[in-house]
C-alpha cells in the first residue's frame, strides 16, 4: 500500500481536518502516514493545503511533487494544482465552486462533486469537507470507513459528539456519489 | 590586674582569608564585607548561591566562601532565576556593576524584578566601567570625563545617568528598593542595615530586593582615594539621592 | 506501563519533542515564542505543571538561555527551544554553557534567513550549529531528526549525551519536521547506567564543605589553554564513540545520496524511485551532525562512488562531506527556502539521474 493525496481549498473549508482524519485513520489501522500542512507563503491569503502520504512501510518524503490524487475544493486550487497531478491519477473537483470541469486532461480519473449543495441538503454547509473525504475514501479504499468514524469520534470533543451522525451521513453521501459519477 | 581579651571585630566567616585585587580606595571591599556580614547574620553561607557578573566583581567566588555561578555580562538575574527555580529552598544573590546591570543587562534586571523573583541584587554604582578602563557608564554623571567621553558626558547625545533604584521601585514585583552609600561611617551602618533587610526580604518570601550602593573608582576617576570618597558626597549623592524607594515588606 | 506510553499516537514533530523531553526527566523549560516552534512551549506550559516542573516564558531568548545555564549549573535537566533568529540571540549563552561545561538541550526548529528571512523550512543554520555558533572555538552536540518519532527519541538521547559529556546538545530540526504529523510510539525513558550524579553542579540543599564554582573565566597562565584542550579532548572522544547515521541501500551503491533532516526524507523517496529504475543508489543520512560521521562516508563513499549532497540551503554540510572523503567526487544540489514550495523527490531523482549517468 502506497498512496498520497493533496488537498487544497481556502481556510474554513475544513481541508486540514479531513487531512488529519485520513492520516490518523491510516495509523489506527496499523499503517504509516505523514500529514504535512502547507507552510509558508501558501498559508497566507487564506489558502489551506496539506499532503498526506500513506504506506504499509515507512513513509519517505512527506512532500510530493506530483500527487497521485488531489482534492481541489476551490477555483484557485484548481488553477494552481490541477496540472501537477500524476498521470493516471485522480482529481476530485468541487463543482459547487469550481467551473472548470478538468476536461483539458484525459489522463486522469475525475470526480466532479457538488459538495456544497450536497452538504446543504444534509443540513449544514460545513459538511462539504466530509462529503469530499467520503468520496476519496470510496475511490481509493485507502482506509475503512469505520476507521474514519472512530477517528472522528476521538478527535471531536465530547460536547460535539451530537454532530457525529450528520458527519457520518455526509461521508456516506460522498461515497455514494463517487460510486455513481466517477468519470474516466 | 589581669584583663580578659575579647575579640570584638574579625573577618566575617562568609569571606575568604585572601587579599582582593581591588584598587586602593575602591569600595568593593567594604560592600563585600557588608554582604558577608548579612550572610553570617542569617547563617546562610552554606545555602546561598552567588551569581557573579562581568566587571570588577567577576571574582566573587575568590572572596566569598559560597557556591557561585558565573554569568555572562548583564545576565546574572536570568542565571539567578534559573538557579532559584531549581532550588526554591536556597537563597540567591547577584552582585553587579553599573555597566552590567544598567546597560547591557537592563532587560534582565527589569523582568527579573517584575516577576518578583526571590533574590537579592547588590548593584554597585561607581559611574564608570572599572575593569575595561573607565569608559562611560549608564550612570556616568553629566559632564563626567571618561575614556569614551573625553569632552565630558553630553546629556544631549549620551542621555542621562539612569536611576535604577527609582526605576525598579515602579514595578509590582519589587518588594524592596533602596539606595545607600559607604562614604562615611553613618552611611556604612545604614548600608549594612539595608543589605541585611534585602536578604530578610528574600528569606521571608516577600519578593525581589534591590540595593544600589554608590561606590568609588579612584583609579578610573583619576583621583586619590580621599578625593574619590569626597566625590560621592559632593556629586553623586545630590544626583542619586539616598533612601528607600520602595518597601512593600511590611 | 501507562497506556499513554504504549499507544501509537498521531502528533506534530514539535509536540513529540516536548513529550520526549518531559519523559526524559526535563523539569525546567525556559523559552520565548517564535514560529515555527511555538507548539513546544505551548505543550510544555500545559503539561509541565502537572509534573511539578517549571515553565517560564522569558523576556527574551537571551534571558531564556541564561536561565537554562543557571538551572543546569544547579544540576537540573533543562531545555530551551527556538527558531533561527532566536537561536542567534542564544549564541552568547551557548558559548558560556560550552565554556563552563553546562549540559542542556537547545532545540532549533530552523527557519529561513538571513535576518528575518522567512518562515519556510530551511537548513540554513548548519554552519552555525556544528561549527560553534558563538565565540570561542567550541562545539556542541548536534542531532538531526528526520521524523516525528526521531524528534521524540533524539531529544532523550540529547539529554543523555549532554549530561555524559557536559557539552550542550542541540536538536536541529526544521519547519517540515516540526509541523508535520506522523505516528509516534512513545516509550518510557531509561537512563543510561553510566550517567553519574552531577557532583560538579550546585546540587542539594547547600554546600557540604568545598565551595562549588561554575565558571568559564580562566585567567591564570596556562589555565585557559588546558581548559580548551580538555574540551577538545571530549570532542575527540565523542567523534570516536557517539557518531550515529542511517545507511539505506548502501552496500552495492555506486552513487551515494547524502542529506539530513527533512531533505533526507525527500531523498529517501528519490532513492527508492531510482532503485525502481535500476540505478544503484543509496542514502547516507547523518543523525549526529556533530560529531560528524566521517567514518561512514569513508566506508560507503570512499571507494570510487559518486556522492550527491542535498540540502535545503546553498551548500553547508557538503563542505564537511568533502573533508571526510577528499578523493571522492561530491556534487551538490540545494535550494534555499522561499520559493513557496519545497524540493520534491522527483526533483532529487532528476539530479540523481543527471549525475549518475554523467
CATH code given to domain C245-357: 3.40.50.920
CA dihedral (C217, C200, C79, C93) in degrees, to 10, reads 0
Of B66, B85, B108, the CB nearest to C63: B108
**C68 closest CB neighbour out of B49, B66, B82:** B82
A vs C: CB pairs below 8 A: 83
Does the pLDDT at position C175 exceed 80? Answer: yes
Neighbours of C353 (CB within 10 A): 17
Cβ atoms B84, B66 nearer than 8 A: no
* pLDDT of C337 over the 60 cut: yes
Is the predicted pLDDT of residue C118 greater than 90, yes or no?
A: no
CATH of domain C3-184: 3.40.50.970
Tens digits of residue pLDDT in C236-250: 999 999 999 999 999
Chain B contact for C74 (CB, 8 A cutoff): yes
Q: What is the pLDDT of residues C259-288, one digit of tens each?
A: 999 999 999 999 999 999 999 999 999 999
**Chains that contact A by 3+ CB pairs under 8 Å?**
C
Domains of chain B: 28-247 (3.40.50.970)
Residue A53 pLDDT more than 70? yes
Q: Looking at residue A44, what is its pLDDT?
A: 47
Regarding an ipTM greater than 0.85, the answer is yes
| pTM (2 d.p.) | 0.95
**What pLDDT score was predicted for residue B17?**
96
Q: Which of C270, C268, C260, C292 is nearest to C139 (CA)?
A: C292
When CB atoms are compared, the residue of C36, C119, C265 closest to A62 is C265
Q: How far is CA B165 from the centre of its chain?
A: 11
DSSP C148-210: HHHHHHHHHHHHHHHHHHT--EEEEEEHHHHH-EEEE--------TTPPP-TTS--SSS--SS
Q: What is the pLDDT of residue B1?
A: 60
Nearest CB partner across the interface for C345, out of A34, A42, A61: A61
Q: How buried is B200 (Cβ within 10 angstroms: 0-12 exposed, 13-18 middle, 19+ buried)? A: middle
Beta C288-290 vs C141-143: how paired, if at all?
Answer: antiparallel
Check residue B181 and give its pLDDT: 98
The fold of the A2-181 domain, in CATH, is: Pyruvate-ferredoxin Oxidoreductase; domain 3 (3.40.920)
CB within 8 Å of C15: residues ≥ 6 apart: C39, C40, C43
- Do chains A and C have 3 or more beta-carbon pairs under 8 angstroms? yes
| Pairwise CA distance, residues B140 & B142, whole Å | 7
The H or E element containing residue C83 is none
Overall average pLDDT of the A149-177 stretch: 95
The answer to whether A and B touch (≥3 CB pairs < 8 Å) is no
User: What are the beta bridge partners of residue C246?
Assistant: C285
CATH topology identical between C3-184 and C245-357: yes
The one-character DSSP state at A161 is: G
Residue A75 has pLDDT above 50, yes or no: yes
**Rounded CA separation C358/C88 (Å):** 40
Chain C residue nearest residue B113, CA to CA = C59
Instruction: Decide the pairing of beta strands C281-286 and C329-334.
Output: unpaired
Residue A136 has pLDDT above 90, yes or no: yes
Q: Are B240 and B162 in contact (CB under 8 A)?
A: no
Q: Are C70 and B66 an interchain contact pair (Cβ–Cβ within 8 Å)?
A: no
Degrees, nearest 5: CA angle C170-C287-C296: 135
**Interacting residues of B249 by C-beta distance below 8 A, sequence separation 6+:** B175, B176, B197, B200, B201, B204, B206, B207
C93 at interface of B, judged by CB pairs closer than 8 A: yes
Instruction: Establish if C278 touches chain B: CB-CB under 8 angstroms.
Output: no
- Residues A22, C47, A31, CA angle at the centre, nearest 5°? 25
In angstroms, rounded to a whole number, what is the distance separating the alpha carbons of residues B54 and B75?
9
In contact, A91 and A80? CB cutoff 8 Å: no
Q: Are C263 and C146 in contact (CB under 8 A)?
A: no
Contact C67 B111 (CB under 8 A): no
* pLDDT tens string C19-57: 999 999 999 999 999 999 999 999 999 999 999 999 999
Strands in A25-180 per DSSP E: 32-37, 47-55, 69-72, 90-94, 109-113
> Is some CB atom of chain C closer than 8 A to the CB atom of B40?
no
CA distance B186 to C247: 75
Q: Is C79 exposed, middle or buried (0-12, 13-18, 19+ CB in 10 A)?
A: buried
Contact criterion met (CB < 8 Å) for C265 and A63: yes
Domain ranges, ordered by start, for chain A: 2-181
pLDDT score recorded for residue C228: 98
- Domains of chain C, residue spans: 3-184, 245-357
Give the whole-angstrom CA distance, residue B102 versus residue C66: 17
Subunits with 3+ Cβ pairs within 8 Å of B are C
C69 SS3 class: helix
Residue A39: pLDDT above 90? no
Contact call for residues C53 and C26 (beta carbons, < 8 A): yes
Residues of chain B with pLDDT under 50: none
Tell whether the model's pLDDT for residue A43 goes beyond 50: no
Amino acid at each position: 500500500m502506497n498512496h498520497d493525496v493533496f488537498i487544497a481549498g481556502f481556510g474554513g473549508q475544513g481541508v486540514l481536518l479531513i487531512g488529519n482524519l485520513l492520516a490518523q485513520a491510516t495509523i489506527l489501522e496499523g499503517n504509516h502516514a505523514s500529514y504535512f500542512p502547507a507552510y509558508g507563503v501558501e498559508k497566507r491569503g487564506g489558502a489551506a493545503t496539506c499532503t498526506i502520504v500513506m504506506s504499509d512501510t515507512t513513509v519517505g518524503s512527506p512532500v510530493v511533487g506530483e500527487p497521485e490524487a488531489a482534492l481541489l475544493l476551490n477555483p484557485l486550487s484548481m488553477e494552481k494544482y490541477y496540472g501537477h497531478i500524476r498521470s493516471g491519477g485522480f482529481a476530485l473537483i468541487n463543482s459547487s465552486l469550481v467551473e472548470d470541469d478538468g476536461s483539458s486532461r484525459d489522463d486522469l480519473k475525475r470526480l466532479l462533486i457538488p459538495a456544497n449543495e450536497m452538504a446543504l441538503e444534509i443540513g449544514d454547509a460545513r459538511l462539504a469537507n466530509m462529503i469530499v473525504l467520503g468520496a476519496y475514501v470510496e475511490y481509493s479504499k485507502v482506509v475503512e470507513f469505520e476507521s474514519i468514524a472512530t477517528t472522528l469520534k476521538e478527535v471531536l470533543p465530547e460536547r460535539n459528539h451530537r454532530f457525529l451522525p450528520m458527519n457520518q451521513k455526509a461521508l456516506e453521501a460522498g461515497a455514494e456519489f463517487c460510486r455513481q459519477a466517477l468519470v474516466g | 590586674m589581669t584583663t580578659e581579651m575579647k575579640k570584638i571585630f574579625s573577618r566575617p566567616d562568609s569571606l575568604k582569608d585572601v587579599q582582593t585585587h581591588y584598587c586602593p580606595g575602591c569600595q568593593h571591599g567594604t560592600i563585600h564585607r557588608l554582604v558577608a556580614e548579612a550572610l553570617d547574620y542569617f547563617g546562610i553561607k552554606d545555602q546561598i548561591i552567588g551569581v557573579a557578573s562581568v566587571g570588577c566583581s567577576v571574582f566573587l567566588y575568590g572572596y566569598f566562601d559560597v557556591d557561585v555561578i558565573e554569568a555572562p555580562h548583564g545576565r546574572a538575574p536570568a542565571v539567578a532565576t534559573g538557579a532559584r527555580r531549581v532550588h526554591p529552598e536556597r537563597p540567591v544573590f547577584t552582585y553587579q556593576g553599573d555597566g552590567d546591570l544598567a546597560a547591557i543587562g537592563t532587560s534582565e534586571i527589569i523582568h527579573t524584578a517584575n516577576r518578583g523573583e526571590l533574590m537579592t541584587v547588590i548593584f554597585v554604582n561607581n559611574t564608570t566601567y572599572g575593569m575595561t578602563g573607565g569608559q562611560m557608564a549608564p550612570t556616568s554623571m553629566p559632564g563626567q570625563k571618561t575614556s569614551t567621553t573625553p569632552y565630558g558626558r553630553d546629556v544631549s547625545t549620551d542621555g542621562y545617568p539612569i536611576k535604577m533604584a527609582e526605576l525598579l521601585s515602579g514595578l509590582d514585583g519589587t518588594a524592596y528598593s533602596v539606595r545607600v552609600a559607604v562614604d562615611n561611617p553613618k552611611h556604612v551602618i545604614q548600608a549594612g542595615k539595608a543589605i541585611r533587610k534585602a536578604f530578610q526580604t528574600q528569606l521571608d518570601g516577600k519578593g525581589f530586593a534591590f540595593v544600589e550602593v554608590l561606590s568609588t573608582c579612584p583609579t578610573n576617576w583619576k583621583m586619590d582615594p580621599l578625593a574619590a570618597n569626597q566625590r560621592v558626597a559632593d556629586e553623586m549623592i545630590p544626583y542619586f539621592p539616598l533612601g528607600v524607594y520602595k518597601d512593600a515588606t511590611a | 506501563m501507562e497506556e499513554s506510553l504504549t499507544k501509537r499516537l498521531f502528533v506534530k514533530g514539535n509536540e513529540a519533542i516536548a513529550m520526549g523531553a518531559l519523559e526524559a526527566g526535563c523539569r525546567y523549560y525556559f523559552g520565548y515564542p517564535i514560529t515555527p516552534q511555538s507548539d513546544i512551549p505551548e505543550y510544555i506550559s500545559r503539561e509541565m505543571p502537572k509534573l511539578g516542573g517549571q515553565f517560564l516564558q522569558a523576556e527574551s531568548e537571551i534571558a531564556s538561555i541564561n536561565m537554562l545555564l543557571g538551572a543546569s549549573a544547579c544540576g537540573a535537566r533543562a531545555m530551551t527551544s527556538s527558531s533561527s533568529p532566536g537561536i542567534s540571540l542564544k549564541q552568547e549563552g551557548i558559548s558560556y554553557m560550552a565554556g563552563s561545561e553546562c549540559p542542556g538541550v537547545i532545540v532549533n526548529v530552523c527557519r529561513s534567513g538571513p535576518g528575518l528571512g522567512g518562515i519556510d523550512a530551511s537548513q540554513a543554520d548548519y554552519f552555525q550549529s556544528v561549527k560553534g555558533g558563538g565565540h570561542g572555538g567550541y562545539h556542541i552536540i548536534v542531532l538531526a531528526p528526520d521524523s516525528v518519532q526521531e524528534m521524540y527519541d533524539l531529544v532523550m538521547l540529547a539529554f543523555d549525551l549532554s549530561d555524559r559529556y557536559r557539552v550542550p546538545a542541540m536538536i536541529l530540526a526544521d519547519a517540515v519536521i516540526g509541523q508535520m504529523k506522523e505516528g509516534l510510539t512513545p516509550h518510557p525513558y531509561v537512563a543510561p547506567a553510566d550517567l553519574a550524579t552531577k557532583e560538579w553542579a550546585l546540587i542539594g540543599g547547600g554546600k557540604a564543605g568545598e565551595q562549588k564554582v561554575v565558571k568559564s573565566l580562566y585567567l591564570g597562565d596556562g589555565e585557559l589553554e588546558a581548559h580548551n584542550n580538555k574540551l577538545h579532548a571530549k570532542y575527540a572522544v565523542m567523534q570516536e564513540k557517539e557518531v550515529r547515521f542511517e545507511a539505506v541501500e548502501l552496500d552495492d551503491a555506486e552513487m551515494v545520496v547524502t542529506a539530513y533532516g527533512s531533505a533526507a526524507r525527500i531523498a529517501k523517496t528519490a532513492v527508492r524511485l531510482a532503485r525502481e529504475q535500476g540505478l544503484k543508489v543509496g542514502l547516507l543520512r547523518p543523525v549526529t551532525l556533530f560529531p560528524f560521521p566521517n567514518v561512514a562516508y569513508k566506508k560507503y563513499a570512499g571507494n570510487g562512488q559518486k556522492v550527491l549532497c542535498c540540502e535545503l540551503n546553498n551548500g553547508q554540510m557538503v563542505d564537511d562531506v568533502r573533508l571526510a572523503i577528499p578523493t571522492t567526487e561530491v556534487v551538490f544540489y540545494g535550494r534555499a527556502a522561499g520559493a513557496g514550495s519545497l524540493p520534491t523527490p522527483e526533483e532529487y531523482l532528476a539530479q540523481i539521474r543527471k549525475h549518475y549517468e554523467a
